[in-house]
Amino acid sequence: MSDEEENWNYKALIEHSSDAIVVHDIEGKILYANPAALALVGDKSLEEAMKKSAFARLPKNMAEIGHRDSQKLLDGQSLPPLIAPLFLTNGNRIEVEVNANFVNFRGKPAIQVHIRDITHRRQVDEILRERLETERALLNSPIDMAALLDVNGIILNINDNFAKTLGQSPQSLLGSCIWNLMPAEVTDYRRKYFDRAIQSKQTVRYDEKNGDKWYDSLVNPILSDQGRVIQLAITARDNTERIQIEENLKESEEELQNLIKSSRDGIIITDEKGRITKWNKGAEIITGLTANEVLGVTAWEIQAGNVTKEWGGHNSLSRYRTLWDQLLNDSNDQHFTGLFDGQIRTPGGDIKYIEQSVFRIPSQRGFRIGAIIRDITDRKMEEQQLKEFADNLKRSNEDLELFVTIATHDLQEPLRGIVAYSQLLLNYCKHGKSPQMEKYLKVIENSGLQMSQLVNDLRMYSRVRTRGDQFIPVDIQKVLSNALNNLQLAIKETQVVITHDELPIVHADATQVTQVFQNIIDNAIKFCGEGIVPEIHISANPEDGMWQFAIRDNGIGIPEEYYNKIFILFERLHGRDTYPGTGLGLALCKRIIERHGGRIWVESEIGKGSTFYFTLPKA
Ligand code: ADP
């Protein structure tokens, strides 16, 4: 083939090539452009194309590269393909791959450039890259470990966490087989779940312990349009905390169950309709009914004894039903607790006293009712025994009081005889001049008088409750005048100074209250130190519905250990020779004050005096 012929063939090849081919000189001046090139850049004719430098179609920085590369080619170097943007005649920009070679064109050195539009390919690449990154971002979302595998275990994508456990970067793991990267002991069972997901085409889920952590693992097959498994998404979520919470919950649930089981109290739970769902051992022991007999039955039916033999049947049943109605229907008061005391009869015929508290247990799905039953039979029995004991005591006290009243009445008569006859004999003896006999008779007379006083006081004491007057408004001012009147002999003898504040009106038995004032003032005069003029002051202060009276003296005082004792019958701190008396005065006062619902007590300082306090109801 001649050179010309060869040239012609080459030209024809270039002219018809689907690749755009441009020849330019070192400056970028276009010497030739084939039709494909003209079509690519949008020039109508070669002449039009030749008006522009080849480098003018490149961005500025790329134009410089083009220029430099052209020189390199002319120097005999060869260059790798270049990816570059290219501006079209209409101003649009495309992405091209450029292959440039050195050629001799019409006897001159030139650059021949093959241009391929790769805009579309770049777009596809871009989409793929973006997809991979999106996938990875998804895989990196809260799931702890995630990977996308093909059916052979080749890693198509993997998230950072998972890659970290395999000791590599996500990028470097792409294309590796996952089964070669894990220890054999985990590969075996993980592969089993993996294969199962492929075969069943269903998600396989399993819990896995790795080190001290628990993972919730999922193998999720991804199917093709034809229903073939093409990929598998693997995820593992760190579940340690949840499993721990579940275990703790299970533990506390077990504790609660044990508590319910071993409780001696009956613990019952019902649903929203009052039907029993839980009936513990304690409830069985108390009621004599087993869980089997009562589960599903409403609490009030059991109480009524409709379903199981005889239980309950007492007249407070309607009250019990009302309580349940309130619990089941009144949703306003979520914390309502009803208390119920009652008597039950067990199937064995035992009568038991129970105390029941019934309450709502709000739950996410509405509410339930809880009831706690306590067997209070023993307590009730004790209460009953105590009541019987108190009744008996009251009765025997009444008997005793009756006895004392009769005895003191009947004793008075013979005593009077003894005193009267000893006095007669005394008179008689005086005339007979027998000093010895006179002395003996004096002793008999004194003893008789003393006994008469004692019997009298006792009689008064026993009559406080039985023979008292009705309570009426009583002016204490008047009471005090009467008491002082009764004491006028002692008052005159001792020159006692008695002062008082304004005195109120009380609701009381006037005679008895006079007795109280009289006894305390009498003592204040009596228990006065040698050579001291007694001084007494009476005051009154209001104190919740009562008046509190204080009678203060300047007497010998009372040791603290006797503050309570002196109010006991016959208790005295001194011999009869030093201070006469029966030891009954303060006991009588206490009994009177208590009959009025009041209190009496003393405060004292030895050698300085005592203050007696007592309270009486306001009028
Ligand atoms: P008595 O008949 O002895 O007065 P009371 O019951 O009135 O009996 O008093 C009991 C005892 O309390 C008295 O014996 C006395 O020792 C003591 N006592 C009562 N009042 C006073 C007082 N104002 N000062 C000192 N001691 C008192």
Please report the pLDDT score of residue 306 as a whole number.
38
Q: Taking 50 as the threshold, does the pLDDT of residue 310 lie above it?
A: no
CA distance 230 to 352: 74
CA distance 447 to 415: 10
For residue 499, report the distance from its CA to the centre of ligand 1, in Å.
Answer: 21
Tokens of 435: 């000093």
* Ligand 1 atom nearest to CA at 583: 8
For residue 398, report the distance from its CA to the centre of ligand 1, in Å.
Answer: 27
Specify the DSSP element, H or E, that contains 611: strand 609-617
Residues 442-459 have pLDDT tens digits of 888 888 888 888 888 888
* Ligand 1 atom nearest to CA at 524: 23
The segment with the largest mean pLDDT, out of 16-20, 30-34, 333-337, 361-365, is: 30-34
- 71 Cβ neighbours under 8 A, 6+ residues apart: 26
- 514 Cβ neighbours under 8 A, 6+ residues apart: 479, 482, 483, 486
CA distance 300 to 279: 14
Q: Given pLDDT bands bounded at 50, 70 and 90, which one contains residue 600?
A: very high
Q: With the C-alpha atoms ordered 526, 530, 533, 536, is the resulting torsion angle positive or negative?
A: negative
Residues 6-52 have pLDDT tens digits of 565 677 888 888 889 999 998 899 999 999 999 999 999 989 989 88
CA angle 232, 236, 241 (to 5 degrees): 165
For residue 582, report the distance from its CA to the centre of ligand 1, in Å.
Answer: 9
* Ligand 1 atom nearest to CA at 457: 2
Half-sphere exposure of 502 (CA within 13 A, CB side): 2
The residue nearest atom 16 of ligand 1, judged by CA position, is 573
Q: Taking 80 as the threshold, does the pLDDT of residue 338 lie above it?
A: no
Contact indicator for 22, 30 with CB cutoff of 8 Å: yes
Residues 521-560 have pLDDT tens digits of 999 999 998 889 999 999 999 998 899 999 999 999 999 9
Specify the DSSP element, H or E, that contains 496: none
3-state secondary structure of 516: helix
Output the CA–CA distances (angstroms, integers) from residue 591 to 435, 533, 585, in the order listed.
Answer: 45, 30, 10
Ligand 1 pocket residues where CB is under 6 Å:
519, 523-524, 527, 553, 555-556, 558, 566, 571-574, 581-587, 610
For residue 229, report the distance from its CA to the centre of ligand 1, in Å.
Answer: 111
For residue 593, report the distance from its CA to the centre of ligand 1, in Å.
Answer: 17
